[in-house]
């Protein structure tokens, strides 16, 4: 009674064999075990080729088998088909084929779990629309496996960037009685009268992050947020992840510099660490994406005021669907024109927007009509980041709440931050799935998150 628990050892994955600089040639001669799922099986007269994938990287392990391999009868009898899980022992040998440097010469194969003939992800290409109805199986495709790995890398790079720069991760609450934007439709949470007052799903952790920033200086949130907007587009999710840093003793310039450094860091990170997946996107999803991202990682971003942006759009030779006029919000077509055409693919930061089109908490500029807001626009996506310096002056903030007929009492704790040691502070919000779209080229935001929630869609 009371035995000891053995050491945790990572099992060998395909990426450990083929992921090195010489794509596995240094492993030649080793006897290894690979466990994964069959992508394809080709039986020729004397030899059978099985492509096995374990999700650790895009590459399959090509396994070559002759009739003397142990377990060959399972192959011969047709039990091992696409989608089946197998366990293969073999020797790493140089590959005869041109697609890979090494392959596995099989000594032994074990069928772990067979795959029904109804397996919906056969070799022939299936549409991404169809795959959304199979969200539980789509990570077994090249595209969704790659998206999952790059999404993971972007998340980890996000944590690395902020941790290396002294930011503290804060979990802002999901269930809340507040409405940060004072506008967005919120989901209501009910279970009898559990909370004894109306409770909603958060639209942003910013107000909460401000309370921690004004104690710990620099913080960030990374968690799910919600919008009950009934918009069935390729750009909107009802549930999405947000990254919201908040910097104390900082102004809009610091905020823009932080957003720039952040984006360049995470883009550089995936270019350096997800080469195989990025090559796949570059070939199959969006030609030129690697060049586009390299530009972002290397170039200085352009910065101009909203007023200048409006002037530039008015002078543009392009016909826009929506009106360009000082006081109106920029539409996606305007944003994309600025970053894609006016500044040739370079991210553009537009600042100092009219106060009427921005949230109550943004700091009023001295001109009395604009606020210290900034949006970062990037090619293909338009607005990727939205930020601002926050109004740290109590009288201005209260005045703005009154103007917008928002109830001061609901914001008592937020106003308290201006009663007790208020400081200039600033932050921004970034929708993580937009970043995944930007970094992978997938067109529909529903393909940038494992289990998308949209109007009418809550399956899985």
Residues 195-224 contacting a copy of itself, CB under 8 A: 195-197, 199, 201, 208, 211-212, 214-217, 223-224
d(CA 456, CA 182): 25
The only residue of 26, 30, 187, 331 in contact with a copy of itself, by rule CB under 8 A: 187
Q: Does 416 bind a copy of itself (CB under 8 A)?
A: yes
User: In the structure encoding, which two tokens stand for residue 18, read together?
Assistant: 């083929």
Give, as ranges, the residues between 336 and 355 that touch a copy of itself (CB under 8 A). Answer: 343, 349
292 CB-near residues (< 8 Å, 6+ apart): 286, 345, 379, 380
Binding pattern to a copy of itself, positions 235-264, x when CB under 8 A? ---xx-x------xxx--xx-xxx-xxx--
User: What's the closest the beta carbon of residue 375 comes to a copy of itself, in angstroms?
Assistant: 13
Q: What's the distance, Cα to Cα, between the start and end of the chain in Å? A: 41
> Of 93 and 365, which has the nearer Cβ to a copy of itself?
365
Residue 226 binds to a copy of itself (criterion: CB under 8 A): yes
Q: Is 35 in the site for a copy of itself (CB under 8 A)?
A: yes
Q: Give the alpha-carbon dihedral of 142, 148, 149, 153, to 10 degrees.
A: 150
Site map (CB under 8 A) of a copy of itself, residues 272-311, x = contact = ----------------------------xxxxx---x--x
We find the least distance from the C-beta atom of residue 264 to a copy of itself, in angstroms, to be: 9
d(CA 342, CA 335): 10
* Among positions 17, 27, 38, 355, the unique one binding a copy of itself when judged by CB under 8 A: 38
At its nearest, how many Å lie between a copy of itself and the CB of residue 46? Answer: 27
Task: Name, in order, each residue with C-beta under 8 angstroms of 256's C-beta and a sequence gap of 6 or more.
Answer: 303, 349, 351, 374, 376, 387
- Residue 214 or 440 having the CB closest to a copy of itself: 214
In the region spanning residues 355 to 384, those forming contacts with a copy of itself, defined by CB under 8 A, are none
Largest CA distance in the chain: 84
Interaction of residue 87 with a copy of itself, rule CB under 8 A: yes
Region from 42-50, 66-74, 173-181, 290-298 binding a copy of itself, contact rule CB under 8 A: 173-181
- Cα–Cα–Cα angle for 53, 58, 61, rounded to 5 degrees: 40
Residue number with CB closer to a copy of itself (298 or 416): 416
Pick the closer one to a copy of itself by CB: 93 or 182. Answer: 182
- Report phi then psi at 189, rounded to 5: -110, 130
By CB under 8 A, residue 189 contacts a copy of itself: yes
Q: Which is nearer to a copy of itself, 66 or 133 (CB)?
A: 133
Q: How far is the CB of 171 from a copy of itself (least distance, A)?
A: 6
Distance between CA atoms of residues 147 and 82, nearest Å: 21
Mention every residue, 6+ apart, whose C-beta is less than 8 A from residue 383: 330, 332, 335, 375, 376, 377
Nearer to a copy of itself, 81 or 93 (CB): 81
The single residue listed with the structure tokens 């900082």 is: 250
Residue 130 touching a copy of itself (CB under 8 A): no
Question: Is position 269 an interface residue for a copy of itself (rule: CB under 8 A)?
Answer: no
Contact set for a copy of itself, span 100-119 (CB under 8 A): 112-116, 118-119
Q: Which stretch binds a copy of itself (CB under 8 A): 42-50, 82-90, 92-100, 102-110?
A: 82-90
11 touching a copy of itself, by CB under 8 A: yes
Contact between 456 and a copy of itself by CB under 8 A: the answer reads yes
- Total Cβ atoms within 10 A of residue 300: 9
Query: Hey, which residues does 61 pair with through a beta bridge?
Result: 52
Residue in 18, 27, 101, 149 binding a copy of itself, rule: CB under 8 A: 149
Rounded Cα–Cα distance for residues 376 and 374 (Å): 7
Q: Which of 32, 93, 174, 290 binds a copy of itself (CB under 8 A)?
A: 174
Q: Is 288 left (phi over 0), alpha (psi -120 to 50) or beta?
A: left
Q: Between 93 and 268, whose beta carbon lies closer to a copy of itself?
A: 268
The three-state (H, E, C) secondary structure of 47-108, written as one string:
CEEEEEECCCCCCCEEEEECCCCECHHHHHCCCCCCCCEEEEEEEEEECCCCCCCEEEEEEE
Contact, 318 vs 265, CB < 8 A? Answer: no
- Judged by CB under 8 A, does residue 3 bind a copy of itself? yes
Q: Among 24, 71, 382, 424, which residue sits at the site for a copy of itself (rule: CB under 8 A)?
A: 424
Element (H, E) at 224: strand 218-226
What's the closest the beta carbon of residue 220 comes to a copy of itself, in angstroms? 10
Rule CB under 8 A: say whether 55 interacts with a copy of itself: yes
């Amino acid at each position: 009674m009371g035995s000891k628990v053995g050491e945790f050892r990572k099992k060998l994955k395909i990426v450990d064999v083929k992921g090195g600089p010489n794509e596995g040639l240094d492993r030649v001669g080793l006897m290894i075990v690979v466990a994964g799922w069959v992508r394809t099986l080709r039986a020729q007269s004397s030899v059978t080729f099985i492509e096995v994938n374990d999700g650790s990287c895009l590459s399959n392990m090509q396994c070559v088998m002759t009739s003397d391999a142990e377990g060959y009868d399972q192959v011969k009898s047709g039990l091992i088909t696409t989608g089946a899980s197998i366990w293969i022992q073999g020797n790493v040998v140089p590959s005869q084929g041109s697609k890979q440097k090494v392959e596995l010469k099989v000594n032994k194969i074990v069928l772990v779990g067979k795959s029904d003939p109804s397996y919906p992800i056969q070799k022939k290409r299936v549409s991404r629309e169809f795959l959304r109805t199979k969200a539980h199986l789509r990570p077994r495709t090249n595209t969704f496996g790659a998206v999952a790995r790059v999404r993971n890398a972007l998340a980890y790079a996000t944590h690395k960037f902020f941790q290396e720069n002294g930011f503290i991760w804060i979990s802002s609450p999901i269930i809340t009685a507040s409405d940060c934007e004072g506008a967005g439709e919120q989901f209501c949470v009910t279970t009898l009268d559990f909370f004894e007052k109306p409770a909603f799903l958060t639209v942003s952790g910013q107000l909460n992050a401000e309370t921690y920033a004004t104690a710990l200086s620099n913080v960030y949130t990374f968690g799910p947020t919600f919008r009950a907007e009934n918009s069935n587009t390729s750009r909107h999710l009802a549930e999405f992840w947000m990254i919201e840093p908040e910097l104390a003793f900082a102004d809009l310039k610091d905020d823009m510099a932080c957003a720039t450094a952040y984006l360049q860091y995470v883009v550089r990170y995936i270019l350096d660490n997800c080469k195989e997946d990025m090559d796949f996107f570059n070939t199959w999803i969006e030609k030129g994406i690697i060049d586009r991202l390299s530009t972002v990682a290397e170039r200085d971003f352009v910065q101009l005021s909203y007023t200048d942006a409006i002037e530039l759009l008015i002078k543009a030779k392009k016909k826009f669907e929506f009106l360009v006029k000082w006081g109106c919000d920029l539409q996606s077509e305007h944003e994309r024109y600025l970053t894609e055409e006016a500044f040739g693919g370079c991210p553009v930061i537009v600042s100092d927007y009219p106060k009427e089109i921005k949230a109550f908490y943004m700091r009023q500029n001295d001109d009395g009509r604009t606020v210290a807001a900034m949006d970062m626009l990037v090619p293909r996506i338009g607005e990727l980041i939205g930020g601002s310096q926050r109004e740290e002056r109590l009288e201005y903030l209260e005045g703005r709440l009154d103007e917008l007929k928002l109830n001061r009492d609901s914001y008592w704790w937020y106003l308290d931050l201006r009663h007790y040691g208020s400081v200039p502070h600033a932050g921004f919000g970034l929708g993580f799935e937009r970043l995944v779209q930007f970094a992978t080229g997938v067109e529909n935001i529903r393909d940038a998150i494992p289990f998308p929630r949209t109007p009418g869609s809550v399956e899985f």
